[in-house]
């Protein structure tokens, strides 16, 4: 069962202590221009991209200038009453360290940003050390992109382990997205064993719609491991809003590792080509399958603990003209 839009909004507005909402998985870039696996990714007009040999709607068509800028994201966040956001990175967007450094310095109360190295090239440890000196509090590892048809980069190799130990000493967070199922889980277990105080956040809800996804979930039984839900609406896109199977998957994961290990994330801007930004989380508010406290944990309390947000704004509800 789900609550209606009106019931959901009225419950939120009546609340003396409205929920903290933090997006634990989003993306920003000023220019998308890169190569992955020998294939180009280039921006096209009206929010489209040439993506690994295909043309896709990467962003909403009203983002016709193709700038996925922080100002546009803040407008969406303010409208949807999302107080803070974690900005991650991926090879398909190109390395965005300089822009995200600007974002975190300009709006430190609203954003936690990940730096990223080119892990496909040996010697990245120098990049990681520079990111730490620049003040980045996290480093993103798109581990699933490090496995090809005939090659593989082991993410528990010597240079990686040197980076993890440095991050553990610096109190940094490792964001990681893994290949489907348990392909890289043994390597992650080795990382956890060597660096038990390194905070690790596994992205894309462990690729929930793929076989053996619970192998990744079980990694969050370790005290230093968490799971973000970035892209969950994309993974359940065939079912579509309000994603009842996604709610069941949340319950299944929470039964194994606890609701305090799970963080809502939107995967903005790619997912809002199919739904609005508010819809990327309000299906959680609307379901009657989760308690109010569990919803608060998922939507913000857990992310607040993991990422250390302390000065989030209180954002009022602005009614739509059509209401």
Helix (H, G, I), strand (E, B) or coil at 14: helix
What separation in angstroms does the CA of 314 have from each of 10, 86, 281? Answer: 17, 18, 18
H-helix segments, the chain:
5-14, 70-80, 97-106, 124-134, 158-170, 185-194, 214-217, 232-235, 244-257, 279-286, 292-296, 302-307
Choice among 6-10, 37-41, 202-206 with the minimum mean pLDDT = 6-10
**What is the per-residue pLDDT for 296?**
97
Q: Any idea what DSSP says for residue 323?
A: -
Choice among 11-15, 26-30, 109-113, 311-315 with the minimum mean pLDDT = 11-15
Q: Positive or negative CA dihedral for 27, 76, 136, 299?
A: negative
Choice among 3-7, 21-25, 89-93, 234-238 with the minimum mean pLDDT = 3-7
1 has a pLDDT exceeding 70: no
**What is the per-residue pLDDT for 82?**
98
Q: CA angle 292-269-70, nearest 5°?
A: 95
Distance CA(232)–CA(236), nearest Å, equals 6
Instruction: Compare 298 and 60 and report the one with higher pLDDT.
Output: 298
**pLDDT band, very low/low/confident/very high, at 115 (cuts 50, 70, 90):** very high
**What is the per-residue pLDDT for 215?**
98
Kindly tell me the burial class for residue 83, based on how many C-beta atoms sit within 10 Å of its own C-beta (0-12, 13-18, 19 or more). buried
As beta bridge partners, residue 138 has 173
**pLDDT band, very low/low/confident/very high, at 76 (cuts 50, 70, 90):** very high
Mean pLDDT throughout 17-44?
Answer: 90
**What is the per-residue pLDDT for 91?**
96
Structure tokens at 27: 């993306």
12 has a pLDDT exceeding 80: no
How far is residue 98 CA from its own chain's centroid?
19
**What is the per-residue pLDDT for 294?**
97
Mean pLDDT throughout 205-222?
Answer: 98
As beta bridge partners, residue 262 has 227
Distance CA(22)–CA(25), nearest Å, equals 9
Distance CA(308)–CA(78), nearest Å, equals 20
Per residue in 135-177, pLDDT tens?
A: 999 999 999 999 998 999 999 999 999 999 999 999 999 999 9
**What is the per-residue pLDDT for 16?**
62
Distance CA(263)–CA(80), nearest Å, equals 17
Mean pLDDT of the chain: 94
Distance CA(109)–CA(311), nearest Å, equals 6
How far is residue 166 CA from its own chain's centroid?
23
DSSP 245-285: HHHHHHHHHHHHH-GGGEE----BTGGGGTS-TTHHHHHHH
**What is the per-residue pLDDT for 7?**
67
**What is the per-residue pLDDT for 268?**
97
59 has a pLDDT exceeding 60: yes
């Amino acid at each position: 069962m789900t609550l209606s839009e009106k019931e959901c909004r009225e419950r939120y507005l009546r609340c003396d202590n409205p929920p903290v909402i933090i997006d634990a998985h989003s993306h920003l870039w000023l220019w998308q221009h890169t190569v992955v696996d020998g294939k180009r990714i280039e921006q096209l007009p009206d929010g489209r991209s040439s993506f690994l040999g295909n043309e896709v709607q990467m962003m909403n068509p009203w983002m016709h200038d193709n700038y996925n800028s922080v100002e546009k994201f803040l407008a969406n966040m303010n409208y949807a009453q999302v107080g803070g956001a974690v900005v991650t990175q991926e090879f398909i967007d190109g390395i965005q360290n300089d822009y995200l450094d600007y974002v975190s310095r300009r709006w430190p109360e609203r954003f936690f940003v990940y730096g990223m190295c080119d892990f496909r090239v040996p010697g990245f440890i120098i990049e990681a050390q520079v990111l730490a000196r620049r003040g980045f509090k996290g480093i993103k590892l798109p581990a699933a992109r490090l496995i090809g048809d005939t090659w593989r980069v082991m993410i528990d190799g010597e240079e990686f382990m040197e980076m993890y130990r440095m991050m553990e000493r610096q109190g940094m967070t490792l964001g990681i997205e893994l290949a489907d199922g348990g392909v890289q889980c043994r390597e992650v277990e080795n990382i956890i064993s060597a660096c038990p105080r390194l905070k690790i956040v596994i992205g894309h809800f462990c690729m929930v719609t793929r076989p053996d996804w619970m192998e990744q979930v079980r990694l969050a039984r370790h005290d230093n491991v968490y799971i973000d839900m970035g892209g969950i609406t994309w993974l359940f896109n065939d079912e579509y809003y309000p994603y009842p199977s996604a709610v069941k998957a949340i319950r299944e994961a929470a039964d194994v590792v606890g609701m305090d290990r799970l963080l809502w994330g939107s995967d903005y801007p790619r997912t809002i080509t199919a739904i609005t930004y508010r819809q990327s989380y309000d299906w959680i508010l609307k379901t009657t399958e989760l308690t109010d406290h569990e919803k608060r944990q998922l939507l913000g309390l857990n992310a607040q603990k993991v990422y250390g947000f302390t000065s989030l704004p209180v954002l009022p509800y602005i009614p739509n003209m059509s209401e």
